[in-house]
Amino acid sequence: MTGKTTGKIVKLGLAALVALSAAAAAAQDMDRAVKARKSLMTLYAHYLGTLGGMAKGEIAYDSAKAASAAASLAAMSTADQSAMWPQGSDNATLGMDKTEALPVIWTTYPAITEKAKALAEATVNLSAVAGNDLAALQGAMGPVGASCGGCHKEFRQPKG
């Protein structure tokens, strides 16, 4: 083997390594984005659980706790999600075991952002009144639950 050929092979090998690590980094970014949005959803469910429990009378209404949970939910739903939904992070590409996000999110984009905006508005409205009294909390809960459900119906495919 001539020195020139060896040099070529080493160069090719390095290029393949660089390409490989770029692909690995992209996969890791994708995993992080999916993990971040699922975590955000888990937090939504956490605060909604407290608020829904109070609204249904399963948890005693507490003005300060209701106001705090609603403010937290509003903060979560107005948080920057722009890097949490990269193209290609759907369940047809990554598999059902990785994500429940449907490909339609990206073929109809930015339709999903309207759903996110609806939730943000509903939670900001809820946050403004949740600490007033139980009736005010109950009155403002409907649009919040409808926003969660409305987005899931179109854009999420639950497992099983």
* CA atoms 62, 65, 71, 77: torsion sign: negative
Contact predicate 123/73, CB 8 Å: yes
* Tokens encoding 42: 């888990």
116 near ligand HEC, rule: CB under 6 A: yes
Of residues 9, 18, 45, 83, which one binds ligand HEC by CB under 6 A?
A: 45
Cβ of residue 13: shortest distance to ligand HEC, in angstroms? 36
Identify residue 96 by its one-letter amino acid code: M
69 near ligand HEC, rule: CB under 6 A: no
Half-sphere exposure of 68 (CA within 13 A, CB side): 6
70 near ligand HEC, rule: CB under 6 A: no
101 near ligand HEC, rule: CB under 6 A: yes
CA distances, 34 to each of 81, 83, 121, 152 (Å): 11, 10, 24, 16
Complex with ligand HEC: residue 62 or 100, whichever CB lies closer: 100
Q: Which of 101, 92, 99 is nearest to 155 (CA)?
A: 101
151 near ligand HEC, rule: CB under 6 A: yes
119 near ligand HEC, rule: CB under 6 A: yes
φ and ψ at residue 93, rounded to 5 degrees = -85, -50
For ligand HEC, how many residues bind (rule: CB under 6 A)?
22
37 near ligand HEC, rule: CB under 6 A: yes
Complex with ligand HEC: residue 34 or 69, whichever CB lies closer: 34
Query: Which residues contact ligand HEC by CB under 6 A?
Result: 34, 37-38, 41-42, 44-45, 48, 99-101, 112, 115-116, 119, 144, 147-148, 151-152, 155-156
